[in-house]
Every structure is written in C-alpha cells, then in structure tokens.
C-alpha cells in the first residue's frame, strides 16, 4: 500500500501567523483570549489553552487583558468595543482576509451594490459583510446568483477559501445583472493550491483521507472536491481511521485543510503506513 501526501496541505500562511501572534501574547493569568476559536481545529484550540491563550465568544465576556482577533477577522465595531472596554486588541487578521474586507468597503464607498460569494454563516464572510456597510448580499450558489436584482453598479468579492471554479461559475451568472461590474477575486492562493493539489492526488489514488476540523469550511470543501474522484473520508484525527476502509486499497492520498496542525497530519500518515 502506498501513502502519498498532497503537494500542498495543512497550515497556510495566515493560520501560522495567527498562531504565532497568539503564542507571543499568551498569559499564564488567563487574561489573553482569542475572540472565537483561533482556528477551526479543536485539538489546536486545546493546545493553545494549555499555553495561556483561552477563547471568549464576545468582547463583553472580558473585563481586562488582551483580546486577539483571529485570522478570519472581525467587523469595525469590534475594534471600537474593545477600545471602549479598555482591552488591548491584538490583530491577527490574515492579510488576505483584510484585503477582502477592504475590497468590500471600497466597493461600498464607491457606490457599488456588493455581492459576497461565500458561505453566509462563515465568520470570515460575516466580517467582510460588516466592512461592506452591512449592505452586501451573500450568495453561495448559481441559483442564488440568479436571484440578485439588476442594479447600476455591482461589485463582487469572494470568501478567501471559496473554490475558484465555483466562484467563476457564480460570477458567470452575475454578468448580466449590471452594465458596471467590478470583480475582486479575493480568493487566496493557499486555497487554490490546496484544492488543486488535493484534486490531482484524488485522481490517482483509491482512497483519500482529508484531515481537519469538521467545523472547518476549507477542509470540508477539500473533502467534497476529492469525493468527485475516489472514496473519501473527512477525519479530525488518526483515531477515527477504520480498518475496513483499507480493504482492497493500493494507494492512499492524504490532504489537510489550512487549519490542520502538522502533528495531526503526521499521526494519520504514520497510522496509514502501518496498515501495509
């Protein structure tokens, strides 16, 4: 049995940066917290907690200390709330997400009707929405694109982790909605690279294991893409591997979302090798 790792997998630049910033601001007194889990990976969240970086759900949950904005970013109001409460805000928003937020703001300020192509419930999309003056439409399917009304000026931005192909298809449906359309393709290369590498690998193996948080949008998307080509399982850790998955399998491919720590990928890789 051959076990092959995707050419690009695991932590992206923005996640590595956010974790480094969080660690630099850890506090043994428990007064350093990220606003929401630092990444969509419960194992990493637990590890950081043991190192002195906890998690709060709202700015109001803190009376003092340091609040760390994660790579997904937040809306402008959060910066104001934190300042009013006297909290020290450390901003670990990924620069690519920041670019998407500022693109939405710029389009809105220039009088464009903003459409965000992305998952409505995703925190990053919500942060982009906040920067759009809270007036953007968020759509994630071609059917929803058809519902967008005609307007004088239409500006399009994307969730950074959205599938490039899917984005192009949705944009295709929006082209007839206005005579003045600006498209700001704010998908980051980390996502494109991981998706392309995962699909290339899925085409040549019998089984794909996609490693990462079940609550991670980009990991879930990788699993959906791989499932088009071969049997695919989305797992969070090596403990979920089932012996029966490996029956009559010659080649196994492994990929992992941008929020999956290296140590978890290594454990899955090692365990697969032991199935030989």
Q: Using CB under 6 A as the criterion, which residues of the chain lie in contact with ligand SF4 when the complex forms?
A: 12-15, 71, 94, 96-97, 160-161, 188, 190-191, 258
Q: From the CB of 159, what's the least distance to ligand SF4, in Å?
A: 9
Q: Between 116 and 205, whose beta carbon lies closer to ligand SF4?
A: 116
The neighbour count for residue 248, using CB atoms within 10 Å, is 6
DSSP string, 233-265: EEESSGGG--GGGGTT--EEEEEE-TT--HHHH
Do residues 211 and 5 lie in contact, with contact meaning Cβ atoms separated by under 8 Å?
Answer: no
Q: Is 124 a catalytic residue?
A: yes
> Residue 270 contacts by C-beta under 8 Å, 6 or more apart in sequence?
238
Q: Report the distance separating Cα 66 and Cα 50, nearest Å.
A: 17
Do residues 21 and 68 lie in contact, with contact meaning Cβ atoms separated by under 8 Å?
Answer: yes
Do residues 241 and 235 lie in contact, with contact meaning Cβ atoms separated by under 8 Å?
Answer: yes
Q: From the CB of 259, what's the least distance to ligand SF4, in Å?
A: 8
Q: Between 74 and 94, whose beta carbon lies closer to ligand SF4?
A: 94
Q: From the CB of 191, what's the least distance to ligand SF4, in Å?
A: 5
Q: From the CB of 171, what's the least distance to ligand SF4, in Å?
A: 19
Point out the catalytic residue in the list 124, 130, 140, 236.
124
Q: From the CB of 14, what's the least distance to ligand SF4, in Å?
A: 2
Residue of 217, 176, 226 lying closest to 199 (CA atoms): 226
Q: Report the distance separating Cα 42 and Cα 46, nearest Å.
A: 6
Name the residue number minimizing CB distance to ligand SF4: 14
Q: Between 82 and 188, whose beta carbon lies closer to ligand SF4?
A: 188
Burial 173-205 (b: 16+ CB within 10 A, else e): bbeebbeebbbbebbbebbbbbbbbbbebbeeb
> Residue 123 contacts by C-beta under 8 Å, 6 or more apart in sequence?
36, 70, 72, 73
Q: Residues with catalytic annotation?
A: 124
């Amino acid at each position: 049995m051959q076990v092959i790792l995707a050419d690009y997998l695991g932590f992206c630049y923005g996640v590595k940066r956010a974790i480094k910033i969080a660690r630099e601001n850890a506090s043994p007194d428990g007064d350093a917290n990220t606003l929401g889990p630092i990444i969509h990976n419960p194992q990493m969240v637990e590890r950081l907690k043991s190192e002195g970086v906890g998690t709060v759900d709202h700015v109001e949950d803190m009376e003092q200390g340091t609040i760390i904005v994660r790579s997904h970013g937040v809306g402008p109001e959060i910066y104001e709330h934190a300042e009013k409460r006297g909290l020290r805000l450390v901003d670990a928003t990924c620069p690519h997400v920041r670019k998407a937020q500022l693109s939405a703001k710029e389009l809105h300020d220039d009088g464009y009707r903003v459409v965000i192509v992305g998952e409505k419930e995703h925190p990053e999309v919500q942060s982009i929405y906040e920067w759009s003056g809270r007036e953007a439409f968020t759509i994630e399917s071609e059917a929803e694109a058809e519902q967008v009304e005609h307007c004088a000026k239409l500006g399009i931005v994307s969730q950074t982790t959205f599938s490039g192909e899917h984005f192009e298809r949705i944009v295709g449906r929006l082209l007839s909605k206005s005579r003045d359309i600006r498209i700001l393709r704010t998908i980051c290369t980390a996502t494109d690279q991981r998706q392309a590498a995962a699909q290339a690998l899925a085409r040549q193996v019998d089984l794909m294991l996609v490693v990462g948080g079940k609550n991670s949008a980009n990991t879930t998307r990788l699993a959906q893409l791989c499932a088009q080509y071969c049997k695919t399982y989305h797992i969070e850790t090596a403990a979920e591997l089932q012996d029966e998955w490996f029956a009559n399998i010659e080649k196994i491919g492994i990929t992992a979302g941008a929020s999956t720590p290296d140590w978890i990928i290594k454990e899955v890789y090692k365990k697969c090798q032991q199935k030989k």
